[in-house]
Amino acid sequence: MARASASSPAVISGEPLVIRDCTLRDGRHADVVVRDGKIAAILAGGSGISARSMDAAGGLLIPGLHDHHLHLAATAAAATSVRCGPPDVVDRDGLIHALTGPGEGWIRGIGYHESVAGFPDRHQLDAIMRDRPLRIQHRSGRMWMFNSRGIELLLAADAEAGQRLEAGAGGMTGRLIDQDAWLSNALRGTWPAFSAIGTALARAGVCGITDMTVSNDHAATAHFAAERARGALPQKAMIAGRMNLGEHLPAGITRGPFKIHLHDAALPDYGEMVGMIAVAHAADRPVAVHCVTQAELVFTLAAIRDAGALPGDRIEHASIAPPDLVGQIADLKLAVVTQPNFIAERGDAYLDALAPHDRDHLYRLRSWLAADVALAGGTDSPFGAADPWRAMAAAVSRRTASGGVIGAAEALTPEQALDLFLADPADLSRVREVVAGAPADLCLLTQPWAGVREALDGATVALTLIEGRIAHDDIDQPDRQRFARADPSS
């Protein structure tokens, strides 16, 4: 590659942007030239190229992060919801406090866990909130719990509610299980705007996401496309979900795997499972299978083996994976997308709930790498915090909120933890790098890697570029130079 020098400045047409004096992961100091949405060139530091530029002051430049498993619409909706579970709420008194306050209309609670107050029925929720309609979602995403006022509105909105709500000895309990798609339609819910979550993700250096909502269909894809078109969603998006995601996807939106969401207590017929996988593969769609229990994982691996694996097939979560199942996943050449943030966010509950021998199999990390399994990271937001840096830190420390450690042998190095969110969404076995010709989806940190690796904190993100456009710019420190026309002679 031709390299410019300060004494002979290069001039690149087309108004490029130059990120001067950045550090790359291999330790090189470089001037990175961005033009037309791509990395046009990587020049030796101090190249003197004449162009619009900014001074990185030695900060690390990496590809933009990619969250490989989240639920964007639910995350956007969660921003206007009430947190009803640990660590924000840990008992019934805390739940009452969280739900009591001024306002009118629906109260939407999220993140509930039965450790707070069991599985309350409509009458128990009435004792907490009688005058306003209330619905609370279990943190698994599988169950909603309604008070009596909420049930009244639900019945008025859709007569099917009477058949869909759980029935008990005294009538409807107010619990609604595995009915999210129906509920959204019954309440005539509109798709939420993505502007706030898009901005927050850009602030964390996230340039791309994979949405793993099982109900995603053509309507979901259309909403993602519309939000990108109006600038509310700067991130590129891979959308997993149903088979009908639409045929003609706009730039920045790609079709992801066919999502299969298993429930341990109600697994599908085995032949049906094999058939679903075969149909997806025949359409050149890999499958992404939700496996949070050992039984779900055993069932899934047998079905994929009988249907035949397709490159791109992946296991979501793989929460409990004994050594023999790690070996089977490696033999089938499946990828695993894990959520190390759950060790930090839910670890103390896991310590109470899991048998000691299962704790070492929980949210493995190092074992997957040792078995040469393609491994990527997701936050599962809103069921986890939408902050990949916190997930990286948890992957390194394996510490719970109270300071306990789960599966210390599964801990990663900071470099390996970063790689979880640098995996190529189109090929999870490949780690993206800052190279000429690559998309200009970039994250600039405030300092070199030697300093960042000790903390793994999103506060170190100074600049996020997506397709060469500024999605986040926090270069406001007085000792830094903002974007300006560089003077090569200075």
Domain ranges of the chain: 17-63+437-485, 66-71+194-431, 86-138+143-177
How many other β-carbons are positioned within 10 Å of the β-carbon of residue 226?
A: 14
Can you tell me which residue has the tokens 């966010």? 345
Looking at the chain, the whole-number percentage of residues with pLDDT higher than 70 is 93
**Which contacts of 302-305 are long-range, i.e. CB under 8 A and separated by 24 or more positions?**
302/270, 303/270, 303/273, 303/274, 303/277, 304/277, 304/332, 304/334, 305/332
- Per-residue pLDDT band at 181 (split at 50, 70, 90): confident
pLDDT tens for 4-19 read 333 334 444 457 899 9
- Sign of the CA dihedral running 237, 110, 183, 134: negative
Please state whether the peptide bond connecting residue 87 to the residue before it is cis, i.e. omega within 30 degrees of 0.
yes
In CATH terms, 17-63+437-485 corresponds, of 2.40.50.100, 3.40.50.300, 1.20.1630.10, 2.30.40.10, to 2.30.40.10
Cα(305)–Cα(135) distance, integer angstroms: 41
Average pLDDT over residues 457-473: 95
Which of 167-181, 252-266, 346-360 holds the top average pLDDT? 252-266
Burial of 234: CB neighbours in 10 Å, binned 0-12, 13-18, 19+:
buried
Sign of CA dihedral 365, 340, 383, 117: positive
Q: What angle separates helix 294-307 from helix 270-282, to the nearest 10 degrees? A: 50
User: Tens digit of pLDDT for each residue in 196-242?
Assistant: 999 999 999 999 999 999 999 998 999 999 999 999 999 999 999 99
Q: For residue range 398-420, list pLDDT tens digits in order.
A: 999 999 999 999 999 999 999 99
Question: Which of 55, 62, 57, 11 minimizes the C-alpha distance to 39?
Answer: 62
Q: Could you report the per-residue pLDDT of 27-57, keeping only the tens digit for each? A: 999 999 999 999 999 999 777 776 788 899 9
Topology of domain 86-138+143-177 in CATH is Diaminopimelate Epimerase; Chain A, domain 1 (3.10.310)
Q: Which residue has the higher pLDDT, 307 or 357?
A: 307
Give the model's confidence band at 275: pLDDT under 50 very low, under 70 low, under 90 confident, else very high. Answer: very high
Confidence of residue 440 (pLDDT cuts 50, 70, 90): very high
Q: In this model, does residue 477 exceed pLDDT 50?
A: no
- Domain 66-71+194-431: CATH superfamily, name plus number: Metal-dependent hydrolases (3.20.20.140)
Cα–Cα distance list, 253 to 211, 350, 391 (Å):
11, 36, 25
Indicate if the pLDDT at residue 481 is higher than 80: no
